[in-house]
Amino acid sequence: MEKKDKRRNWIKNALIIFLVVLLILTFCSDSIMNAYLPEVSTEAATAGRIQETIRGTGTAEVNQACLVKLATSRTIKTVNVKVGQDVNEGDVLFTLESGDGTDIDSAKSTYLDLQTEYQKKLLGTDFNYDKEAVGIENARKDYEKALEDYNDIDSKNKKLDKMKKKSDKLNKDIATLEKNITDSDALITDLSTRSDVETAQADLTTKERSLVNLNNEKIDLEADAKALTDEITSLKAQQSSNAKVQATPDPDGIVPDVSVESMIEEKQKLLTEKQRALRDKEVEVANAEADVAIAKDALKTAKNNKAQLDTTKKKKTDMETSLTNKKADLTKLDAEIEAFKLTVKDKTEAKNLVDEKENTWNSLIAEYEAKKSEDSHTLENEKIELGAAKQKLIAQKKIVEDLIESTGESEVKALISGKVTAINCAAGDITQPDTSIATISSSDDGFMVKISVTRDQASKVKVGMNGSVDNYWYGDITAVLASVSSDPENPSNMQLSFAVKGEYVNQGDSLTISLGGEGKNYDVIVPKSSIYSDDNGKFVLTLDSKSTPLGTRYIATRHDVTILAEDDVHAAISSDLYGYEYVIMTASESLSPGDQVKLKEE
């Protein structure tokens, strides 16, 4: 017995220990499981404003550059500046050898030759080329007309398509109207058989009169029944008082010997017959009332049908008028289409005609030019040559005057203040007229920085907007959008040109400029770091909570998104989110939709 008790106690203790361990594991399971879950950080999706940032890098170029040139050939004696040197307006850049220019005698000789040539060309022969000019002009007009017709083909085809679509719509409208008119005819035929108001009114009047007669008969029967009831009551009163009752004489004047009981019995039979007749009459009255109600409904229906019939007839008349007008419009439009088709030429034939007219025009011009070449004394040629000779003479006279004026100069001075960016000669060199011997760049008007952006980005900015230089840390600097133009190096892009001013900006500096586009409000904005992408597109993962017996569990749920706009940090999206969900920004390991996660402890 003691052995059994020990065994029972051992089993009992083992069960208690097992239950305690199970209970501990149950309470600790949440912590144990959470220890192995991915850790995430979140941020709430909100509504707000997104201002897209456009950013690019370009090289600073001076806005103004001065090319130092001499009007005549001179010998450089000394070079007084170096590349990179800052100079002020009026500073001496070069010293020249003294004496006349090496080409002044040649210039004077050339002037005399040109003067003689001009005087010779004043003599000319009178030739007339009006015929050729008219032919060329007519050929040009024919070419331009053919080219205009060719260029109009696409617009005419578009117009023809619109006319055909209008014709198709008119045909559809006509078919619809014809069907509606046919339907209206059927409805009119149907309503005509159910809209006889006069017959319905006559039937109602007859039934109302019958009802009045029946009610009068009912009232008479009620009066007779009441009179019999009163007589029976009176006889019963006499019977109870043992009074004799005087019977009513028969037609022969004989007074029958009747008892009160028999009279009561006779009256009772008459009353029963009257009551039976009254009930039958009440049934007739009820039936008559039902007939009147039915007749009233029939009259109302007939009136409604009559109104609908009138409305349908009017609609039909309107539709017939509209149908007539549309058919007339269609006939007119179809005629216009056929006439317009004649003006629309085949594109290949039109192109061939353009080429033909152009060749004719060019041939006439070539023939005209050839004729002028064969006849060097034609009036037109002489006018051209005379004008050219005159212009050459004037230009050469200016050259001689400039050479005479410039021979006394012994120094070349800076015309603007700035920095010497190029020197193209050395001491002892002989300069060439109108050839740059030095370049001075001025930063007084600041610098120009050009960046390339997409056409979509360019559409979101306006000239005059202020930009921000991201990689300049030496003082104040401004960057204003000066122009938006096509990018010559990448025609698919646009080029933004910024006017940049800064104390320490130098030519050739690489500057990164950012510019905010036009801002816009959006319903749902999330951090850019919360947006992922895979083969199915872009998506975000939201943190959804789920209550369980062991506590709250957090699940990563996928939501497909479309990015509407973005800046450096946030993005506006279109999705099934409402704007208050928490999106997952970071995770301690790769996540998949449906994964269980835990929140990162702050």
* pLDDT tens digits, one per residue of 356-377: 888 998 888 888 777 777 765 5
DSSP β-bridge partners for residue 405:
none
What is the residue whose two structure tokens read 């070079």?
79
- Number of Cβ within 10 Å of residue 459's Cβ equals 13
- Residues 242 and 260 sit within 8 Å (Cβ to Cβ): no
Cα three-residue angle 307-309-312, rounded to 5 degrees: 110
Q: Say whether pLDDT at 175 is over 90.
A: yes
**pLDDT confidence of 549, banded at 50, 70, 90?**
low
pLDDT, mean over the chain: 81
Separation between Cα atoms, residue 114 and residue 108, nearest integer Å? 10
pTM: 0.32
125 is written with which tokens? 């022969």
* pLDDT tens digits, one per residue of 399-430: 666 665 555 567 888 877 778 878 988 888 88
- Which region among 111-120, 304-313, 352-361 has the lowest average model confidence (pLDDT)? 111-120
Phi and psi for 493 in degrees, rounded to 5? -105, 175
Helix/strand number for the chain, H first, E second: 8, 22
* pLDDT tens digits, one per residue of 426-470: 888 888 766 788 888 765 667 788 999 888 778 778 777 888 888
Separation between Cα atoms, residue 583 and residue 40, nearest integer Å? 10
- Indicate the residue type of 249: P
Taking residues 106-132, report their average pLDDT. 70
* pLDDT tens digits, one per residue of 472-491: 877 788 888 877 888 888 88
- Number of Cβ within 10 Å of residue 399's Cβ equals 19
DSSP-derived secondary structure letter, 430: B
- Which region among 13-22, 233-242, 561-570 has the lowest average model confidence (pLDDT)? 13-22
Q: Say whether pLDDT at 391 is over 80.
A: no
DSSP-derived secondary structure letter, 504: T
Dihedral angle at the C-alpha atoms of 259, 264, 270, 271, nearest 10 degrees? 170
